[in-house]
Amino acid sequence: MQNTGTWNSDEAIFYFLVVISPICLYFLGAFLNMVLNAIPDAPESEISFTQAVGEQEAWQAVKDRCLEDAINGDYRARDWLTKNCYGATTFTPEPKSKPKSKTKSNKEEVTSPQVIDEAIVGLVGLGYKKAEARRIINKLAVSKLYKNSEVLLMDVISSV
């Protein structure tokens, strides 16, 4: 065999069969798999439990399961049974009550914990130790009401 710098046809066919064709077949198989998975299957009709057995039977099954759980000691099942089953045969949700408006009490207003935490983080970022920052912030927050952490930090810096 003499090296002429070109391939003869037998070597080219062998190279194609051994190296190139498995790679092509791999990508062709992946492409076909992707195409077949993209085709939607026929939708199956979903039948709910209520449709299968009827509304009354479904409600009875829920009550029976809840009663079984309550007998086994589940306090949530006991509460649900008390609220929804005794005295009524169907579920009737209770109307939501309006939230009560907050009335101002005679308590003194204090700086919110969120403002204090933000100020502590700010002082730690400036290089203070966390315990020292907490001590300084708490001392100032007790004496005056702060609505935001920026004012509190300015008072800390001006007092140092």
Number of other residues whose CB lies within 10 A of the CB of residue 144: 10
> Are the CB atoms for 123 and 156 separated by under 8 Å?
yes
What pLDDT was estimated at residue 7? 65
CA distance 149 to 153: 6
Per residue of the chain (160 residues), what is the pLDDT tens digit? 566 666 677 777 888 888 888 888 899 999 998 888 887 766 666 666 666 677 788 778 888 888 888 888 888 888 887 777 765 445 555 566 666 655 555 556 788 888 888 888 888 888 889 899 888 888 888 888 888 888 888 888 888 7
CA distance 107 to 110: 9
User: Residue 125 gets which letter from DSSP?
Assistant: H
Helices (H) and strands (E) in the chain — how many of each?
8, 0
* Residue 50 exposure: Cα atoms within 13 Å on the Cβ side: 4
Within 8 A by CB and 6+ apart from 110, the residues are: 141, 142, 145
For residue 32 the two structure tokens come to 């076909």
Q: What is the pTM of this model?
A: 0.35
